[in-house]
Amino acid sequence: MTRSKQRKFELSIISLLKLVFPDTVRGNRYGCGTEGNIEGTPFRIESAHGIALPDAVELIEKSEDNYYDDERPRLAIIKEDRKEPIIVAKLTDFAAFLEKFLFDRGDPS
């Protein structure tokens, strides 16, 4: 995967998410490592272009290991070559999202 493909992929995700979460931005790649690839949403979002589905699970697990103090639900948005992007999340994180944002029953953390 080239940096330009990854950057273009992240920018396409950001432009879509800005419709719902206007503060969505690319995470700081060179800071202290406390941000996901995409920030400004209620989720910890890691993204990768050109990887297979099993690798998305690894993205989520690394996010949990590296950002254990971040209570936001974790998502991996991946795009295999010549395929549509997909979102991978743990069922508990997805259920927390549904509860908070669709049914307004409280904080998902």
> Domains in the chain, ordered, with CATH?
3-102 (3.40.1350)
Mean pLDDT of the chain: 81
Asked if the model's pLDDT at residue 30 lies above 80, the reply is: no
Element (H, E) at 78: strand 74-79
User: Using only C-alpha atoms, what is the Rg of the chain?
Assistant: 14
Considering the entire predicted model, what is its pTM? Answer: 0.77
If you average pLDDT over residues 41-51, what whole number do you get? 86
User: For the stretch 30-64, what's the b/e string if a residue is b when 16 or more beta carbons lie within 10 angstroms of its beta carbon?
Assistant: eeeeebbbbbbbebbbbbbbebeeeebeebbeebe
